């Protein structure tokens, strides 16, 4: 049976036609790595010493229960990592690592409770990366994670070339890993495999009323964004995925090519939440103006849009954080347990220190 059309919810008349604005962005705390000279914000974790995580990026959240989140990171190097040289320096390279946190009081930063470890007590690689297939795999990068029908999943892209040109990264495939034991062990779900040119090579997930919504792009930062959905219980059955076609205004089952753009490019690493108080979807993502046909100049920012319906009209692009204030910024990921009030928290990566930082922003509705 085809999924029923998304039902429109009763909207508060005071917020019906107004857009979200995110203001007063602050760098709350360091999440990974070691503090640099002159840093004045909190650094509650010693990831280099405790888990051999000296340099890393991303920080992709997903909800495991009402007080626990998982956090996936990207390419990671050990405690001898040297900040200021960007990613890729230091020993013990892992394509991705995984942390867990029970900290829901984020005003002073987010404390990591534990990480998935190897037999030496160091953070271990979850999604098989370059060391598993040298010469063919460059690395395996998480793009999103979600708990669906009680099982934890991570979507990742298997990269063979970063320099694909025109804002593209070249993949062998994208796929899922699943954990049936609260994130302790993970296994590849080969039946969910997206081809190299897939519109869902990179994704962000959000769950509402038993439905998982998936906004995807081609690998890289130059693509438009597309929309799909499926029931939680069907996450491992790609033939039951439905794709939004804006031309026919219909959901089309099992035909990814039918998906039409819902957000114009360029869209980079994205994060999606539904704000319960203001009843609007918010998406944040990396933006590189060099791949924007309307601008075409070099300018990097973390941006956001909002909408009443995922398959409706999204707001214009709005800047959340700029490279002028945060050089080398990329990859914003919302903390999913903080979607009820007037402050959102998100992680953001900075290239030169090659580490992840917790950020906050105030949420307002336009008058």
Reduce the secondary structure of 148-192 to three states and give it as a string.
ECCEEEEEEEEEEECCCCCCECEEEEEEEEEECCCCCCCEEEEEE
Q: What's the pLDDT tens digit per position in 131-184?
A: 999 989 999 999 999 999 999 999 999 999 999 999 999 999 999 999 999 999
Residue 197 Cα distances to 46, 170, 228, 243, 256, angstroms: 39, 8, 16, 16, 11
Say what the pLDDT of residue 38 is: 94
Residue 108 has a CB neighbour count (10 Å cut-off) of 13
Percent with pLDDT over 70 in the chain: 95
Q: In angstroms, rounded to a whole number, what is the distance separating the alpha carbons of residues 250 and 248?
A: 5
Q: What is the pLDDT of residue 107?
A: 97
Residue 10 scores a pLDDT above 80 = no
* Residue 337 confidence (pLDDT): 98
Position 202 pLDDT exceeds 90: yes
Is the pLDDT at 222 greater than 50, yes or no?
A: yes
Pick 334 or 296 by higher pLDDT: 334
Split at pLDDT 50, 70, 90, the class of 17 is low
Q: Is 240 a residue whose pLDDT tops 90?
A: yes
pLDDT one-digit tens code per residue, 24-78: 999 999 999 999 999 999 999 999 999 999 999 999 999 999 999 999 999 999 9
* Residue 28: DSSP 8-state: E
As a whole number, the mean pLDDT across the chain is: 94
Picking from 268-277, 292-301, 344-353, which range would have the lowest pLDDT averaged per residue? 292-301
Region 324-332: what's the mean pLDDT?
97
Indicate if the pLDDT at residue 112 is higher than 80.
yes
Rounded-to-integer distance, Cα 300 and Cα 282, Å:
20
Q: Would you state the pLDDT for residue 238?
A: 98
The yes-or-no verdict on residue 350 having pLDDT over 90 is yes
Residue 366: pLDDT band (50, 70, 90) is confident
**What's the pLDDT score for residue 297?**
80
């Amino acid at each position: 049976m085809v999924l029923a059309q998304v039902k429109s919810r009763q909207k508060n008349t005071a917020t019906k036609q107004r857009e979200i604005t995110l203001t007063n962005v602050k760098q709350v705390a360091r999440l990974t790595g070691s503090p640099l000279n002159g840093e004045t914000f909190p650094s509650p974790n010693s990831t280099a010493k405790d888990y051999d995580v000296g340099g890393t990026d991303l920080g992709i959240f997903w909800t495991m229960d009402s007080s626990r989140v998982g956090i996936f990171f990207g390419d990671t190097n050990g405690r001898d990592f040297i900040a200021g040289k960007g990613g890729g320096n230091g020993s013990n390279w892992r394509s991705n690592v995984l942390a867990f946190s029970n900290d829901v009081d984020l005003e002073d930063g987010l404390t990591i409770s534990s990480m998935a470890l190897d037999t030496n007590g160091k953070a271990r690689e979850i999604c098989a990366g370059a060391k598993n297939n040298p010469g063919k795999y460059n690395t395996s990068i998480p793009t999103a994670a979600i708990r669906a029908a009680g099982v934890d999943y991570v979507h990742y892209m298997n990269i063979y070339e970063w320099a694909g040109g025109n804002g593209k990264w070249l993949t062998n495939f994208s796929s899922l890993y699943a954990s049936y034991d609260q994130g302790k062990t993970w296994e590849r779900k080969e039946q969910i495999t997206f081809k190299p040119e897939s519109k869902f090579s990179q994704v962000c997930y959000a769950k509402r009323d038993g439905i998982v919504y998936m906004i995807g792009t081609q690998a890289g930062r130059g693509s438009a964004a597309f929309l799909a959905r499926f029931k939680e219980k069907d996450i491992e059955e790609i033939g039951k995925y439905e794709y939004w076609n804006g031309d026919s205004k219909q959901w089309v089952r099992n035909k990814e090519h039918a998906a039409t753009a819902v957000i114009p490019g360029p869209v980079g690493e994205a994060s999606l939440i539904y704000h319960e108080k203001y009843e609007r979807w918010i998406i944040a993502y990396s933006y590189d103006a060099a791949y924007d046909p309307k601008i075409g100049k070099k300018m990097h920012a973390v941006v956001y849009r909002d909408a009443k319906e995922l398959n409706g009209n999204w707001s214009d692009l709005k800047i959340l954080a700029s490279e002028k204030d945060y050089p080398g910024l990329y990859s914003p990921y919302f903390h999913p347990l903080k979607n009820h009030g007037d402050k959102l928290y998100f992680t953001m990566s900075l290239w030169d220190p090659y580490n992840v930082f917790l950020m906050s922003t105030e949420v307002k509705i336009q008058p």
